[in-house]
Amino acid sequence: MEKTILITGGAGFIGSHVVRLMVNKYPGYKIVNLDALTYAGNLENLKDVESKSNYAFVKADITNEAAVKEVFEQYQPDGVIHLAAESHVDRSISDPLAFIRSNVMGTVNLLNAARAAWGDYTEGKRFYHISTDEVYGSLGATGFFTEETAYDPRSPYSASKASSDHMVRAWHHTYNLPVVISNCSNNYGPNQFPEKLIPLAINNIKHKKAIPIYGKGENVRDWLFVEDHAAAIDLIFHKGVNGDTYNIGGNNEWTNIDLIRKLCEVMDNALGREKGESEKLITYVKDRAGHDKRYAIDSGKLMSELGWKPSLQFEEGIEKTVDWYLKNEEWLNNVLSGDYANYYSQQYDNR
Ligand code: NAD
Ligand code: TDX
């Protein structure tokens, strides 16, 4: 094998797209997917790659020191692409400690394991940490987050991701660990867990259930198709400068209410419903505590230095996404059963 790459969180939404891309694009690499299979991890996401000879799966928790050490000893990875994390802001509001454990402690555990395994000889080695634009806080009506924007995380989730970014940089400066970090805007696409706005709305529209809009629906997010994020990760992993940070975004800002109206239109078309029928499901609910107003990313550095650009227009991406969810009813029903049903029923008590 040319290279062995350990991908953490590969059974999740973005991770599964990264695993698929790497396994298919680099048959000479060994791709090891380490995932604890929390409520958000689902091996169904990887059905099409699981039998490939350059792919291996290990069920382990990134906070488990012995388990992570064993994976490093067994597979001797040259690179780590670290995506495993608790990822949902609303859950971080009701259970912050779970976020500190996985996102902060888990990241430090991986950094220690990489450092111990690689020692001083780090030629060809790379620890790539996948992070979020939420570390930069909240924007007013204008301006963009750049790589120089000061950190100002405001939710337990974003504070845990900011902490993990700081840890990664600390291991770089203190121990010379070769690292790279990227901070990406909101992703959407197939396989996203239906607690997040777009798949939640698709599912509710399908079942003619209320679409919950937090506050007035005026908060703004910058949406990027998940495969474009995966392509950026591939590029940054291979070409990014040691110690650097890259922002990734779709240059595609929507207020939540406009986004949901657009989604309703696409769903009406896809389901053969009368125009305007799904919009009637829009329901304003109590706002998220500490709800960040606006995120918008300047991806100029990634575009000019590494030549990345998003491949899809939003209209095309959202149609592809709706199509995937409508065709993958069984996937949706499976992830919506059990634990998730309990979580969703308690949602409005926690804010
Ligand atoms: P996700 O919740 O869909 O998947 C997370 C995966 O990590 C799951 O497979 C889960 O089983 C695994 N995991 C969680 N805790 C773990 C632990 N302690 N040990 C091992 N595995 C564990 O998340 P996602 O949306 O795919 O996000 C992936 C990464 O990208 C996260 O680090 C997130 O912060 C970051 N990110 C997400 C977005 C987004 O819009 N979704 C945007 C920017 C950055
Ligand atoms: O039911 C809802 N109603 C609603 O109005 C939900 C679930 C969300 N919202 C709002 C909150 C946000 O303004 O929609 C927007 C998007 O919400 P989420 O899908 O929960 O995403 P967000 O909180 O923006 O965070 C996401 O993007 C950055 C991911 O979950 C993070 O993992 C990523 O780092």
CATH for the stretch 3-188+223-248: 3.40.50.720
The two structure tokens encoding residue 282? 């829009």
* Mean of all residue pLDDT scores within the chain: 96
pLDDT of residue 345: 64
What residue owns the CA closest to ligand 2's atom 27? 186
Residue with tokens 């604890």: 36
The bound ligand whose nearest atom lies closest to the alpha carbon of 35 is 1
pLDDT of residue 338: 65
CB under 6 Å to ligand 2: residues? 87-89, 132, 134, 186, 196-197, 200, 212-214, 219, 221, 256, 288
CA distance 316 to 228: 13
Instruction: Give the position, in ligand 2's atom list, of the atom nearest the Cα of 201.
Output: 1
**What is the bridge-based pairing of β-strands 79-82 and 126-132?**
parallel
Which phi and psi angles does 129 have, rounded to 5°? -100, 125
Measured in Å, residue 196 CA sits from the centre of ligand 2 at: 6
pLDDT at 95 over 90: yes
In the reported structure, the alpha carbon of residue 76 is separated from the centroid of ligand 2 by a whole-number distance in angstroms of: 36
pLDDT digits (tens, 9 = 90+) for 322-331: 999 999 999 9
CA-nearest of 223, 233, 172, 235 to 198 is 223
Reported ipTM: the value is 0.99
> Which residues sit opposite 188 in a β-bridge?
225
Number of Cβ atoms within 10 Å of the Cβ of 207: 8
pLDDT at 336 over 90: no
Residue 130 forms beta bridges with which residues?
182
In this prediction, residue 339 has a pLDDT band, given cuts at 50, 70 and 90, of low
C-alpha 281/C-alpha 231 separation (Å) is: 35
The model's confidence at residue 340, banded by pLDDT at 50, 70 and 90, is low
pLDDT digits (tens, 9 = 90+) for 167-213: 999 999 999 999 999 999 999 999 999 999 999 999 999 999 999 99
Domain ranges of the chain: 3-188+223-248
Which residues are catalytic, by number? Answer: 133-134, 157
Q: Which atom of ligand 1 is nearest to the CA of 87?
A: 2
Residue 37 in contact with ligand 1 by CB distance below 6 A: yes
* d(C-alpha 268, C-alpha 274), whole Å: 6
Give residue 229's identity as a one-letter amino acid code.
H
Ligand 2: atom nearest CA of 217 is 5
Ligand 1 neighbourhood includes 285 CB (under 6 angstroms): no
Q: If you average pLDDT over residues 249-275, what whole number do you get?
A: 97
Task: Check whether 346 has a pLDDT greater than 80.
Answer: no
- Those residues whose C-beta lies under 8 Å from the C-beta of residue 321, and which sit 6 or more positions away, are 188, 189, 190, 198, 199, 202, 225
pLDDT(342) > 80: no
For residues 291-310, average pLDDT: 97
